[in-house]
Amino acid sequence: MAVFGRLSDGHAETRVLAELERRRSDIGGIAFKLLLQFGLLLALLVLAVLLVDVARDGWSVLSTRLGDFLGGTLRSRSIDERLGVHQGLVGSFWIAVFTAVFSFPLGIGAAVYLEEYAPKTRVTRFIELNIRNLAGVPSVVYGLLGLGIFVKTLGGLTGGRSLLSAGITLAVLVLPIVIITASEAIRAVPDSLREGAYGVGATRWEVVRSQVFPYAAPGILTGTLLAMSRAIGEAAPLILVGAVTGRLGTDPGFFDVSALKDRFVAMPIVITEWTQNSGRDIGFASAAAAAIVVLLVFVLALNSTAILLRNRFEKQRR
Amino acid sequence: MTRFLSIDDLQTGKRRIRKEQLVRAAILFSALISVLVSALLIVSLLREGWAFIAGVDWGDTWASGWYPRRGMYDIRTLFVATMITTGIAMLVAGPIGLASAVYLAEYASERVRAIVKPVLEILAGIPSVVLGFFALFFIAPEVIGRINEDATAGSLAAAGTGVGLLTIPLVASVSEDALKAVPVDLREAAAGLGARKRVIATRVVFPAAISGIVASFIVAISRAIGETMVVFIAGGAADSAAYTHSPFEGSLTMTAAMASLAGGTDQVKGEGYTFQSLFFVGLLLFILTFVLNMIADRFVRRVREQY
């Protein structure tokens, strides 16, 4: 009570007590909080406005001729009744297949090596650093890799500007994402599980297969879903690799493997092409918006599955 | 007669060992693929990029604009446009992303966080072509058109705003991680001294997390520089661009110039070093983002070392 001791007269004491008990209105604090809330609301609002705007623009196409639109092909005029996204869907389907076939096993394999097998040497650290750097390389630069290596140097094998080149390019693009997310999932596995398995004589691979994989599976799956959604939404590398802008001669079916070495198009390219066409033919704007809605259905389905999956398992483990 | 346990009983079967070795070789191969990718990336950039550096008349790299098909490779045009879009993007993403991060880390209840964080992640997952469409058909007329009536239909300002929206989640999540990494002790100590919530947030937590926040900005800048489709669609220029430093006109950033050059025609045709210029710009872009990412990495590691 040293403070009160010095304030000898009773009046000061009452004042201090009153000051301590007073409800202070912290106007600066309230304003600051409101400002932060405003910033966050703005970010959420953007998403809402974007979704509403796109859905509204594409509604005229989606509500009247959805079936024809999904089955139709690229046309030079927006009024054409056969205008549609079928070729784009086929291209994006194969890109998803390529990421699943190439980057999932390679990415998960690399993650297992780095987390479970690799000695903590300089070489390992270099590989890890290299993967982090690859994850930060702009996607358009991966397009140059595709153009320089898969289209030009290996053109004989890939058919040049083909769906095959594009698929491999995007598989390479998402590889670091798969590795990084899988590594994080594997790192979260408690050591006690591993030690228990080693204790009963399991080999390293048996430990990974029977203990690490089951525990890390949701995390790994989340990463692969995010990687796939990234791959089907990418456009820039495809333009560099030589996706067709304009009309594509053929309309291959979904499982037409012979089309892999042909020229190709994918959903994001269809959207880009139609958006740019809207300058001369405004009808393409609503076609582009409708194509965006179709693409977003897939992308958002993949993303929200991934997020739900991760949140659910995080909650269980806590 | 009693049978004693011999060393042979403890050794495992040959098949088991072979399987182990096989798996090890396979996953080592997967890990080395990433090194191979980097090597191929650098080879493909340098092979054609060097041909440009060695062969081009450097007078052509200082012209009135970027006209690659006519042999005028004014890098300055692309660089200035890139800086303008990135600057505008950061004006949008910086404040909004940071405000979201501080609110989520310091103020929001668990329930609000549980709803808002996934929504931000959804925003992060929106493909950039979609943002490009949105920038051209919504941001350009509704936002930029109101700020400056003379702005062209597509402009660097519209594209920059779109890129900014795309990087908000990145700034928000990396900054929030940094703020969350600040130990509760600091907050409690400040509260014990009678500091108000706002003071704790701005004078205690914010300075303690500054490394991570700086890192989030650098990563966002690197991402904005490398963003292609929004500028390609909404940047208001195709194929070539005259030099401009007005954000309300159309121009090409480094990335958009690459996309324009590669798209459209069947082959990249043009005089002299048109094809090689593509790789030269790519090389510059690669170096620029690489340096920024390394710096950001350094900052992130500093956060980890501190706490």
- What ipTM was predicted for this assembly? 0.88
Its sign, for the CA torsion B202, B205, B207, B212, is negative
- Which residue, among B27, B42, B142, would best test binding to A if mutated, counting the most A CBs under 10 Å from its CB? B27
Q: Would A302 be classed as within a structural domain? A: no
What's the pLDDT at B67?
A: 83
Q: Model pTM?
A: 0.88
Q: Would A258 be classed as within a structural domain? A: yes
Adjacent-strand bridge partners of B73:
B66
CA distance B271 to chain A (A): 19
Using CA coordinates, name the residue in chain B closest to A43.
B96
| Pairing between β-strand B241-242 and β-strand B72-73 as defined by DSSP bridges | unpaired
Domain span at residue A128?
A: 85-264
Q: Which two tokens stand for residue B83?
A: 């800086």
Q: Would A286 be classed as within a structural domain? A: no
Place of tokens 């949105």: B134
Whether B265 contacts chain A with CB within 8 A: no
Q: Which two tokens stand for residue B265?
A: 């025609």
- Which residue, among B44, B104, B254, B261, would best test binding to A if mutated, counting the most A CBs under 10 Å from its CB? B44
Q: Are B43 and A236 a contacting pair at CB < 8 A?
A: no
Task: Find, among A140, A216, A143, the residue nearest to A178 by Cα.
Answer: A216
Q: Would A118 be classed as within a structural domain? A: yes
Task: Find, among B117, B135, B99, the residue nearest to B213 by Cα.
Answer: B99
Residue-level pLDDT, tens digit, chain A, 318 residues? 445 555 556 677 788 888 777 777 778 888 999 999 999 999 999 999 999 999 998 888 888 888 888 888 888 777 777 888 888 898 899 999 998 999 999 999 999 999 999 888 899 999 999 999 999 999 999 999 999 888 888 877 777 788 888 999 999 999 999 999 999 999 989 999 999 998 888 888 999 999 999 999 988 999 999 999 999 999 999 998 887 766 677 777 777 777 777 788 899 999 998 998 888 888 888 889 999 999 999 999 999 999 888 888 777 765
Question: How far is the C-alpha of B279 from the C-alpha of A115, rounded, in Å?
Answer: 35
DSSP states of A145-167 as a string?
A: HIIIIIIIITHHHHTSSSHHHHH
CA distance A101 to chain B (A): 13
Q: Would A145 be classed as within a structural domain? A: yes
Residue-level pLDDT, tens digit, chain B, 307 residues? 566 777 666 667 788 888 889 999 999 999 999 999 999 999 999 988 888 888 777 777 777 778 877 778 888 888 999 999 999 999 999 999 999 999 999 998 889 988 898 899 889 899 999 999 999 999 888 888 888 877 778 889 999 999 999 999 999 999 998 999 899 999 999 999 988 888 999 999 999 999 899 999 999 999 999 999 999 999 887 777 778 878 888 888 999 988 888 875 545 555 667 888 888 999 999 999 999 999 988 888 876 666 6
Q: Are B123 and A239 a contacting pair at CB < 8 A?
A: no
Q: Are A138 and B225 a contacting pair at CB < 8 A?
A: yes
Q: How many domains does chain A have?
A: 1
Whether B269 contacts chain A with CB within 8 A: no
Question: How far is the C-alpha of A111 from the C-alpha of A118, rounded, in Å?
Answer: 10
Q: Would A166 be classed as within a structural domain? A: yes
Q: Would A155 be classed as within a structural domain? A: yes
CA distances from A240 to A243, A244, A269, B59 (A): 7, 10, 11, 27
Question: How far is the C-alpha of B33 from the C-alpha of B43, rounded, in Å?
Answer: 15
Whether B78 contacts chain A with CB within 8 A: no
Amino acid of residue A44: L
CA distances from B45 to A117, A240, A309, B52 (A): 33, 13, 39, 11
Using CA coordinates, name the residue in chain A closest to B132.
A272
pLDDT tens figures, B208-240: 999 899 999 999 999 999 999 999 999 887 777
Question: How far is the C-alpha of A21 from the C-alpha of A37, rounded, in Å?
Answer: 29
Residues of B in contact with A108 (CB under 8 A): 30
Query: Do the Cβ atoms of A40 and B104 come closer than 8 Å?
Result: yes
Query: A31 by DSSP, 3-state: which?
Result: helix
Facing A136 at nearest CB: one of B30, B114, B293: B293
Facing A303 at nearest CB: one of B100, B121, B289: B121
Q: How many contacts (CB atoms, under 8 Å) link A and B?
A: 274
What's the pLDDT at A169?
A: 94
Facing A39 at nearest CB: one of B100, B263, B294: B100
Using CA coordinates, name the residue in chain B closest to A28.
B198
Amino acid of residue A21: E
User: Three-state SS string across chain B, please?
Assistant: CCCCCCHHHHCCCHHHHHHHHHHHHHHHHHHHHHHHHHHHHHHHHHHHHHHHHHHCCHHHHCCCEEEHHHCEECHHHHHHHHHHHHHHHHHHHHHHHHHHHHHHHHHCCHHHHHHHHHHHHHHHHCCHHHHHHHHHHHHHHHHHHHHCCCCCCCCHHHHHHHHHHHHHHHHHHHHHHHHHCCCHHHHHHHHHCCCCHHHHHHHHHHHHCHHHHHHHHHHHHHHHHHCCHHHHHHCCCCCCEECCCCCCCCCCCHHHHHHHHHCCCCCCCCCCCHHHHHHHHHHHHHHHHHHHHHHHHHHHHHHHHHC
Q: Would A40 be classed as within a structural domain? A: no
Q: Which CATH number fits the domain that encloses residue A129?
A: 1.10.3720.10
What's the pLDDT at A8?
A: 57
CA distance A29 to chain B (A): 5
Long-range CB pairs of B189-198, under 8 A, 24+ apart, other chains included: B196/A26, B196/A29, B197/A29, B197/A33, B197/B106, B197/B107, B198/A26, B198/A28, B198/A29, B198/A32, B198/A33
Q: Mean pLDDT, chain B, as a whole number?
A: 86
What's the pLDDT at A1?
A: 44
Place of tokens 């996309």: B259
